[in-house]
Amino acid sequence: MYDNIFRSLYLIRRTEEEVARAYPTDKIKSPVHLSIGQEAVAVGVCEALGPEDIIFCSYRSHASYLAKGGDLNAMVAELYGKATGSAKGKGGSMHLVDIPHGVMGASAVVGTPIANAIGYAYALKLRHSNQIVACFFGDGATDEGVFYESLNWAAVKELPIIFICENNGYAIHTAQSTRQKNTQLWQKAAAQGVPAERIDGNDVLSIYEHVSETIQSLRTKKAMGPFFFECMTYRWREHVGPNEDYQLGYRDLSELAPWVETDQVERIGGMLDPIQRKQIEVDVEAEIASAFLYADQSPFPDPSELYTDIT
């Protein structure tokens, strides 16, 4: 298991570092919201999900897309605005989708994936499906009314959905403590009748264990959904873009330090045999290089595509 988790963590980290490297060249045609530092949440959750399960995610979606098995070539091509991208080059970084791998699409509008996810979960329940939905969103989404409406409805209908709040402490540049009197977000979910808990420390193994237990309960019908996990994490880069932003004054490098010390990429990598780890790194680096070359050589959409896929 550790090798799969490390590969996923390393793939996300290195892909996003390459995105950050390429961004100043203007080859990437959309804004990028990086998950560097937050990879553990997506990996822990998606490692527990099955291939048949479904995820919905917000605009910081590179990690969840890749952790769920999303096509790397299609992702990078989408960032490049190419016709071979996951959304034909029309959606960019904030609208990644890979339906064959259960990635039902990211949304750039804060909070909207929550409503979309409960709709899908309701359909699964009506079909008596054994599939499960996981919905990723940030702490900022809990400021939106759709969060409370959706959790209440999911609880009333007992839907097979797991809500994953990636709490990195900031909504853009505004700290959670200045936005919310009650910073225990799991308590807000519990108030809606949703079993909820907080997972501290950005611990990929703890997240995996908690979500695995929940999925097992849902699959065997020992418990009905929904469930809510507030996963405490931290983004290392700026809200949007490839750089750091500690010079802006809204947060300090001293705040970053403990998260770097417990970096899950290094933690899980250290659990592997060095030879095994090196082979995974070599394979992933080759995969990433191939994906960026694929994106670079792919064509832009034909002008005739301008009015297609419009609803």
What would the pLDDT profile of 273-290 be if each residue is shown by its tens digit?
999 999 999 999 999 999
| Domain membership flag for residue 310 | no
| Domain membership flag for residue 116 | yes
> Measured between alpha carbons, how far is 148 from 269 in angstroms, rounded to an integer?
38
| Domain membership flag for residue 151 | yes
- Predicted confidence at residue 73, as pLDDT, reads 98
Cα distance from N-terminal residue to C-terminal residue, the chain: 42
Q: Are 72 and 15 in contact (CB under 8 A)?
A: yes
| Domain membership flag for residue 307 | no
| Domain membership flag for residue 135 | yes
> Measured between alpha carbons, how far is 250 from 239 in angstroms, rounded to an integer?
12
- Predicted confidence at residue 310, as pLDDT, reads 77
Residue type, 198: R
| Domain membership flag for residue 144 | yes
Give every CB contact of residue 230 below 8 A, 6+ residues apart in sequence: 165, 167, 184, 185, 186, 189, 196, 197, 198, 199
Question: Six-digit token pair at 31?
Answer: 């804004």
Count structural domains, the chain: 1
pTM: 0.96
> Measured between alpha carbons, how far is 108 from 94 in angstroms, rounded to an integer?
6
| Domain membership flag for residue 309 | no
Q: Are 81 and 159 in contact (CB under 8 A)?
A: no
- Predicted confidence at residue 15, as pLDDT, reads 98
Q: What is the DSSP string of 85-104?
A: STTTTSS-GGG--BGGGTEE
> Measured between alpha carbons, how far is 42 from 47 in angstroms, rounded to an integer?
8
Element holding 168 (H helix, E strand): none
Question: Six-digit token pair at 222?
Answer: 């020992």
| Domain membership flag for residue 305 | no
Count Cα neighbours of 98 within 13 Å in the Cβ-side half-sphere: 24
Block residue for tokens 């394979």: 283
> Measured between alpha carbons, how far is 246 from 228 in angstroms, rounded to an integer?
31
Q: Are 22 and 28 in contact (CB under 8 A)?
A: yes
CATH code for the domain of 258 = 3.40.50.970
Residue 305 DSSP label: G
Nearest to 146 by CA among 107, 113, 185, 178: 113
Residue 60 DSSP label: S
Q: CA-based angle 249:255:257, to the nearest 5?
A: 130
Give pLDDT tens digits along the chain (311 positions).
Answer: 899 999 999 999 999 999 999 999 999 989 999 999 999 999 999 999 999 999 999 999 999 999 999 999 999 999 999 999 999 999 999 999 999 999 998 999 999 999 999 999 999 999 999 999 999 999 999 999 999 999 999 999 999 999 999 999 999 999 999 999 999 999 999 999 999 999 998 999 999 999 999 999 999 988 899 999 999 999 999 999 999 999 999 999 999 999 999 999 999 999 999 999 999 999 999 999 999 999 999 999 999 888 898 76
Domain that holds residue 214: 2-299
β pairing state of 174-175 and 196-199 = unpaired
Q: Are 42 and 208 in contact (CB under 8 A)?
A: no
Nearest to 23 by CA among 238, 290, 236, 242: 242
- Predicted confidence at residue 305, as pLDDT, reads 86
